[in-house]
Structure 1
Amino acid sequence: MKCPKCEHRENKVIDSREVREGAAIRRRRLCLNCGHRFTTYEEVMRAALQVIKRDGRREVFVREKLMQSLVIACQKRPISVQQIEQMVGTVISEAESEYEREIPSTAIGAKVMSMLEKLDEVAYVRFASVYRRFKDVSQFMNEAERLIGRE
């Protein structure tokens, strides 16, 4: 590891910590030449997860896209950004552990819907209306009635 200040290659680690639940290690380093302190992050590089869309196309999994869809579903609901980020993190970690390189978009949608149903029914119905492609009000009402019936 080169020092970002003097580019000397010899340094020593003065502190190490796990970040993001063991997904990465943060290391504070000290350059043995100039004494500059700097931080490095070490994480496992994985092959990009591909999403298999309903029409058979494949796309690279994009965390921000999932985050944005949840933000929209949770708008004006008592759900914090931290809760949304936690859901996204859970979906990603489950997807990476269950699927090696490709995951059907339906599996991602099912995971999100399962979490939203427990968290907030309005956000769940909003997400479901897009995910399940509700074509009319009757489909929307059927889902709402199903939620009411389970209480």
Structure 2
Amino acid sequence: MKCPYCNQETTRVIDSRPADDNSSIRRRRLCDECGKRFTTYEKVETIPLIVIKKDNNREQYDRSKIEAGVLRACHKRPVSVNQINALVDEVETEIFNREEKEIESKLIGEIVMDKLKDLEAVAYVRFASVYREFKDINTFMNELKKILDK
């Protein structure tokens, strides 16, 4: 590992510990040349995931898109940032555990809705109304009835 201060390649690990819920390792390193310390992170390399959109276009998976949709749905609702992050982590875990190289955006949306339904009912309906493209009030009411029946 090159030192970011002097660019020498003679560095050594002086401390290692788990980071990010054991999904990566944080390493403190020491440069043998200049004596400065720096931190590196080691993470498992994942298979790049391709998302198949509704129009059959393909694009690389982007966590921030799920986060943005969930944040919009939870706007002005009693849902903490930690709860949102946990929900997105759960969605990601479910997606990557499928071990597929391609996944339909439709399936990702269904997983998000399933998780939101358990977290916050209003956020769920907001997300569903955009995701399922409710065309009229009847479609909206049908979705609300499903929630009320449970």
Please state whether the residue corresponding to 1:142 is helix, strand or coil.
Answer: helix
- Distance in 1, Cα, partners of 2:98 & 2:21: 18
- Give the Cα–Cα distance (whole angstroms) in 2 for the partners of residues 117 and 68 of structure 1: 17
Structure 1: which 5+ runs fail to align? none
Q: Structure 1: which amino acid aligns with 2:130? A: V
Following superposition, the deviation at residue 41 of structure 1 comes to 1.1
Kindly tell me the number of residue pairs found equivalent between the two proteins.
150
TM-score (norm 2): 0.93
Q: Which residue of 2 aligns with 1:61?
A: 61
Aligned to 1:118: 118
Q: 1: CA distance between counterparts of 2:30 and 2:15?
A: 10
Identical positions, percent: 50
SS of the residue aligned with 1:59? Answer: strand
Looking at structure 1, the residues matched to 93 and 116 of structure 2 have their Cα atoms a distance apart, in angstroms, of 17
Q: In the alignment, which residue of structure 2 is the partner of 1:39?
A: 39
Q: Per-residue deviation at 1:103? A: 0.8
Structure 2: gaps of 5 or more residues: none
**Structure 1 stretches of at least 4 aligned residues deviating more than 6 Å after TM superposition:** none
Report what 1:107 is aligned to. Answer: 107
The alignment status of 1:30 with 2:30, answered yes or no, reads: yes
Question: Is 1:16 matched up with 2:12?
Answer: no
RMSD: 1.2
| Residue matched to 2:98 | 98
C-alpha offsets along residues 70-127 of structure 1, whole Å, 9 cap, x if unaligned? Answer: 1100011000111111111121121111132111112111111111111110000001
Letter in 1 for 2:53: K
Tell me, in whole angstroms, the C-alpha distance in 2 between the residues paired with 1:8 and 1:35. 11
Which letter maps to 2:31?
Answer: C
Q: Secondary structure at the match of 1:15?
A: strand
SS in 1 for 2:15: strand
| Paired amino acid for 1:51 | V
In structure 1, what is the Cα distance between the partners aligned to 2:67 and 2:40?
Answer: 26
Q: Which amino acid aligns with 2:16?
A: S
Residue of structure 2 in register with 1:5 after alignment: 5
TM-score with structure 1 setting the length: 0.93
